[in-house]
Amino acid sequence: MKAFILERYGKTQRLKATDIPDPDLRDDEVLIEVHAAGVNLLDSKIRSGEFKLILPYRTPFVLGHDVAGVVTGVGRSVKRFKVGDEVYSRPDDFRIGTFAEYVAVKEYSVAIKPRNLTMAEAASVPLAGLTAWQALVETAQLKEGQKVFIQAGSGGVGTFAIQLAKYLGATVATTTGPDNIAWVKDLGADIVIDYRKNDFEQIVNNYDLVLNSQDSETLTKSINVLKPGGHLISISGPPDPAFAEAIRGPWFLKLATRILSFGVRKKAKSHNVQYSFLFMRANGHQLSQITPLIESGAIRPVVDKVFPFDSTNEALAYVESGRAKGKVVIKVR
């Protein structure tokens, strides 16, 4: 099969188009013919080596964390899917590889594709949708009437999180550039802050939850907008000891996360707020819970641009540029 592989780590490394063997299909996996693959900043960070401590992939390997396609094979123990099913998924760590014509994915990480979405639209959902779900529903248990500040409202996670938070009945504040203010309001944001003109600390205060996706300076400032007992969830780091424990990391990872997150955990404690690092994980059941929200129209995927398979490197560069409104997708088939 044709695939784009990473031969060595590095920020300027281009993925190489080549032919590799089809994936091995394990008993608990389904083989998916890839029709479309979402492109995420996570792919860029893994390529550059930023996540080698957490995800020590051996090169060469295939990148790609989002897929929509058709089941072409099932393992012996698979019960929920059959050949011909249209599905979507965020493959598990160490089984990624959607920048290819086929990918094997664990049964429990797959869900039936929403009926009202194209393959490209469906491929834009899994990673961003599961990140928002695991932050707002699973971790924060966001409730009707609460207030949430979601940074970078025009990004892939932001566009999904805004809609999910509004569906849950929360008041939503967000940041974006001046060209996107009306568009982000249309997604459901109640308060939209132009980050080029205004400091969100001066506008947002006494909030229940912050979903941080920006740099360390923004992370520290986010603590100040929370009310006592509030919750700061960061998807951009630093990882905390609870994360290292959850993934059963080695002693040096536990030590590193303790050191890296010491400052933000100390400040959070002094302000009587909780800090959590979220590294989303594959979960087909949660995707199945997201599906009816999409089919009912409560949440709509936002796709900025679709690239042909041969332009996978250009798609990754576009994501890295930070210009995308919503998600970027590669059309494989």
Residues 118 and 208 in one domain: no
Q: Is the pLDDT of residue 249 over 90?
A: no
Inter-axis angle of helices 126-133 and 156-167, nearest 10: 50
Residues 185 and 214 in one domain: yes
Region 266-273: mean pLDDT is 96
Residues 22 and 96 in one domain: yes
Q: Is residue 295 a part of any domain in this protein?
A: no
Residues 134 and 250 in one domain: yes
User: Do residues 191 and 203 make contact, with C-beta atoms less than 8 angstroms apart?
Assistant: yes
- CA 143: distance to chain centroid? 22
Q: Is residue 104 a part of any domain in this protein?
A: yes
Region 1-26: mean pLDDT is 96
Region 259-280: mean pLDDT is 95
Region 57-70: mean pLDDT is 97
Residues 308 and 240 in one domain: no
Residues 315 and 260 in one domain: no
Q: What is the mean pLDDT of the chain?
A: 96
Rg (CA), the chain: 19
Q: Is residue 22 a part of any domain in this protein?
A: yes
Q: Is residue 292 a part of any domain in this protein?
A: no
Residues 233 and 139 in one domain: yes
CATH code for position 99: 3.90.180.10
Q: Is residue 289 a part of any domain in this protein?
A: no
Give per-residue pLDDT as tens, 68-88: 999 999 999 999 999 999 999
Closest alpha carbon to 144 in 133, 136, 154: 136
Q: Is residue 287 a part of any domain in this protein?
A: no
Q: Is residue 51 a part of any domain in this protein?
A: yes
Counting every residue, how long is the chain?
A: 333
Say which range, 141-155, 247-261, 289-303, has the weakest mean pLDDT: 247-261
Closest alpha carbon to 305 in 122, 41, 64, 38: 38
CA distances from 249 to 9, 95, 198, 243, 265 (A): 22, 18, 40, 9, 19
- Amino acid type, 136: L
Range of the domain at 229: 128-277
* Residue 323: predicted pLDDT: 86
Residues 120 and 134 in one domain: no
Residues 106 and 22 in one domain: yes
Residues 26 and 74 in one domain: yes
Give per-residue pLDDT as tens, 150-181: 999 999 999 999 999 999 999 999 999 999 99
Closest alpha carbon to 92 in 80, 74, 78, 106: 106
First-to-last alpha carbon distance for the chain, in angstroms, is 12
Residues 146 and 61 in one domain: no
Output the CA torsion sign for 294, 295, 298, 303: positive
Output the CA torsion sign for 227, 229, 231, 232: positive
CATH code for position 266: 3.40.50.720
Tokens standing for residue 147: 């207030």
Q: Is residue 61 a part of any domain in this protein?
A: yes
User: Do residues 156 and 124 make contact, with C-beta atoms less than 8 angstroms apart?
Assistant: yes
For 41, phi and psi rounded to 5 degrees?
-60, -25
Region 122-133: mean pLDDT is 98
* Residue 225: predicted pLDDT: 96
Higher confidence at residue 170 or residue 247?
Answer: 170
Residues 175 and 70 in one domain: no
Domain end residue (candidates: 277, 293, 312): 277
CA angle 88, 93, 99 (to 5 degrees): 55
Q: At 172, is the secondary structure helix, strand, or coil?
A: strand
User: What is the rounded CA–CA span in Å between residue 77 and residue 280?
Assistant: 26
Q: Is the pLDDT of residue 247 over 90?
A: no
* Residue 171: predicted pLDDT: 98
Domain count, the chain: 2
Q: What percent of the chain has pLDDT over 90?
A: 93
